[in-house]
């Protein structure tokens, strides 16, 4: 899975590097003497042979008269960077010798930043650029690259908007616009939260929204033309060229051979009817939004009336070549014993560990264990490597705790202590004081080895735990959780202030990729945006996966921008969700920014 994501990310990065390299060409002296070699080098650069161009500039530098070689060495370094050879660029820069003109000194510093960026040291690149006073077009392009790499999307876009004002050639301005949308897509692929910041300049805000729409379009999102139309209505005077979105289809191309008939296996009566009906409605919502004559036939089976294996066999007998469901772990495990490859299956839960996965068998779930693993990785990335956990005494709590502990240890962290609570508990004071080794009195502080607390809880228990941490003067301790803690329709979310957790775009980004799904829910299934909204979103993405699984398994075009997350398929056929992060502030959700990229380790011997 990581390899497939890396392919998509690398493709975006390579394209962006090449575009920025063209934008940052070094100026050279006029023709004469060694300039014949420089002219040949410039021709090679235009043809895309950056290594050949770099060698040509180095030859020109070596034959140049004393005191005139610096521009050639700088041009060589620029071409080595465009050719992704940071070591050769650094070697070329080492030949730059004083005295330097002001322009050459500026270019040398910019290229030093490019080398640092190419080596993965975004922090050093940003520090180098701080010393440059004023910005020309080349420096603004480099500055934007550094900002995109650091996931500072709004700042990067602002730099390129400023650069646009310095460009006079129409082709250069169009190329600059493509740098903006390509840079946004690359940052999104690396996990940036590219929501428009409050108070952003309208031109910058418009670019960020457009960049997200176009990135989603490339990854197979639905409703792109509707979002573009809404974007044009919001930003009628925006400078973006319509060439950026010309030819984008309203519906993504199918990911391969499509099924003729899909069977949906869900509990639509009995105790689980509410959950099953919400998933069904989401599935139908996506079916309606897909539109077109190429949609498969759809048959729905109630697995509360018959067991899941019986429903599966009936679906095959009725001619279905793709089965979606069932919903519970036990039903999925039972169905897996029958699946023999006659139909592709997308189970709506994960098989237990150690169970053999049949051919053409995929698994997709809103897994709290996956969210616990995400939380463990995020806490470690935030630099908090020691903390405590609090989970319920239940199978759910034990699975969440085990997943968190395993992933946190793999990330280099250590759990200093762990406690659990009976689900009927309402008074957590004693548990909190024992876990944090605090008296609960004013002036007492939590144990020194607790840099965070990870809590697994449903909304009521989550609000009680957060409130009682505050009562015990421990609210300053960062509290992480899974999305189960937050009810988007809850009236008591103010009690969760400060809690940090991952969640799906359906909850965090209703105006982004989930806007079409929400519109359909409001229009066709009123009320589905409420407490069962996440299950509606789950069903919506389940239908999207039916047509996209073959493409996703190949790893092309990056993650599928779903309403439950950015979706990828791992080598075991499990659909994994990449989520954004939020913090409750004043009872509302505010984006929790991604962790700052870590500097690269020192090279051996340094």
Per-residue model confidence as pLDDT tens digits over 240-296: 999 998 877 655 555 557 899 999 999 999 999 999 999 999 999 999 988 777 789
Which candidate, 212, 200, 112, 126, places its Cα nearest to that of 161? 200
Which CATH number is 260-365+515-578's, of 3.40.50.2300, 3.40.50.1000, 3.40.50.720, 3.40.50.1970? 3.40.50.2300
Burial (CB count <10 Å: 0-12, 13-18, 19+), residue 442? exposed
CB burial of 523-542 (b: ≥16 within 10 Å; e: otherwise) equals eebeebbeebbbbbbbbbbb
* Whether pLDDT at 142 is above 90: yes
Strand partners, 396: none
Model pLDDT for residues 581-595, shown as the tens digit of each residue: 999 999 999 988 877
Residue 88 is classified by DSSP as H
| Backbone torsions φ then ψ of 573, nearest 5 degrees | 80, 15
Pair 575, 357: CB distance under 8 Å: no
Long-range contacts, 427-432 (Cβ 8 Å, 24+) = 427/468, 428/464, 428/465, 428/468, 429/468, 429/471, 429/472, 431/390, 432/390, 432/465, 432/468, 432/469, 432/472, 432/474
> For the chain, what's the residue count?
606
Quick one: tokens of 371? Answer: 């969210």
Residue with more model confidence, 599 or 404: 404
Model pLDDT for residues 402-461, shown as the tens digit of each residue: 999 999 999 999 999 999 999 999 999 999 999 999 998 988 999 999 999 999 999 999
Model pLDDT for residues 193-250, shown as the tens digit of each residue: 788 888 889 999 999 999 999 988 887 777 888 889 989 999 999 999 999 988 776 5
Cα gap 233→235, rounded to integer Å: 6
Cα gap 358→367, rounded to integer Å: 21
Instruction: Given CATH 3.20.20.70, say whether it is the number of domain 369-504.
Output: no
Mean pLDDT of 332-361: 92
Strand partners, 261: 297
Pair 159, 145: CB distance under 8 Å: no
Mean pLDDT of 483-509: 93
Mean pLDDT of 500-508: 95
Pair 1, 570: CB distance under 8 Å: yes
Domain limits, the chain: 260-365+515-578, 369-504
Model pLDDT for residues 517-533, shown as the tens digit of each residue: 998 898 999 877 777 99
| pLDDT at position 255 | 53
């Amino acid at each position: 899975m990581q390899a497939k994501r890396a392919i998509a990310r690398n493709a975006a990065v390579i394209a962006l590097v090449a575009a920025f390299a063209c934008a940052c060409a070094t100026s050279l002296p006029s023709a004469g003497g060694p300039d014949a070699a420089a002219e040949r080098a410039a021709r090679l650069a235009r043809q895309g042979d950056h290594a050949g161009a770099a060698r040509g500039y180095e030859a020109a530098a070596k034959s140049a008269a004393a005191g005139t070689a610096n521009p050639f060495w700088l041009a060589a370094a620029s071409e080595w960077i465009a050719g992704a050879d940071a070591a050769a660029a650094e070697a070329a820069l080492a030949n730059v010798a004083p005295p330097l003109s002001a322009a050459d000194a500026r270019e040398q510093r910019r290229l030093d930043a490019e080398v640092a960026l190419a080596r993965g040291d975004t922090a050093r690149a940003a520090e180098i650029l701080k010393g440059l006073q004023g910005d020309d077009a080349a420096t603004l392009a480099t500055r934007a690259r550094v900002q995109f790499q650091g996931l500072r999307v709004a700042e990067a876009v602002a730099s390129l908007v400023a650069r646009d004002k310095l460009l006079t050639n129409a082709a250069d301005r169009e190329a600059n616009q493509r740098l903006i949308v390509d840079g946004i897509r690359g940052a999104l692929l690396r996990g940036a939260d590219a929501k428009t910041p409050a108070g952003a300049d309208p031109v910058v805000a418009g670019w960020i929204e457009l960049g997200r729409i176009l990135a989603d379009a490339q990854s197979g999102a639905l409703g792109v033309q509707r979002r573009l139309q809404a974007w044009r209505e919001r930003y009628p005077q925006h400078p973006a060229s319509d060439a950026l979105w010309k030819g984008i289809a309203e519906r993504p191309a199918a990911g391969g051979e499509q099924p003729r008939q899909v069977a949906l296996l869900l509990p639509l009566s009995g105790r689980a009817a509410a959950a099953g009906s919400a998933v069904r409605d989401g599935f139908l919502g996506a079916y309606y939004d897909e539109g077109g004559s190429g949609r498969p036939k759809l048959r729905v089976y109630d697995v509360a009336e018959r067991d899941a294996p019986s429903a599966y066999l009936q679906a095959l007998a009725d001619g279905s070549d793709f089965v979606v469901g069932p919903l519970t772990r036990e039903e999925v495990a039972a169905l897996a014993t029958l699946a023999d490859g006659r139909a592709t299956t997308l189970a709506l839960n994960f098989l237990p560990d150690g169970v053999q996965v049949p051919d053409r068998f995929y698994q997709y779930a809103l897994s709290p264990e996956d969210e616990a693993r995400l939380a463990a990785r995020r806490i470690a990335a935030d630099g908090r490597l020691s903390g405590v956990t609090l989970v319920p005494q239940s199978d759910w709590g034990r699975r969440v705790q085990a997943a968190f502990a395993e992933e946190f240890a793999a990330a280099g962290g250590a759990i200093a202590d762990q406690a659990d609570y009976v689900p009927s508990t309402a008074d957590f004071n004693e548990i909190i004081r024992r876990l944090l080794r605090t008296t609960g009195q004013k002036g007492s502080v939590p144990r020194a080895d607790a840099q965070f607390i990870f809590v697994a809880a449903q909304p009521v228990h989550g609000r009680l735990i957060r409130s009682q941490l505050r009562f015990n003067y421990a609210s300053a301790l960062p509290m992480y959780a899974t999305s189960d803690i937050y009810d988007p329709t809850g009236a008591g979310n103010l009690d969760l202030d400060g809690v940090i957790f991952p969640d799906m775009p359906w909850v965090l980004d209703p105006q982004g990729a989930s806007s079409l799904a929400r519109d359909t829910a409001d229009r066709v299934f009123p009320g589905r945006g409420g407490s069962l909204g996440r299950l509606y979103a789950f069903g919506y993405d389940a239908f999207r996966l039916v047509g996209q699984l073959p493409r996703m398994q190949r790893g092309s075009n990056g993650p599928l921008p779903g309403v439950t997350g950015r979706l990828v398929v791992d080598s075991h056929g499990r659909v994994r969700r990449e989520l954004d992060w939020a913090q409750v502030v004043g009872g509302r959700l505010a984006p929790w920014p991604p962790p700052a990229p870590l500097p690269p380790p020192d090279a051996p011997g340094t």
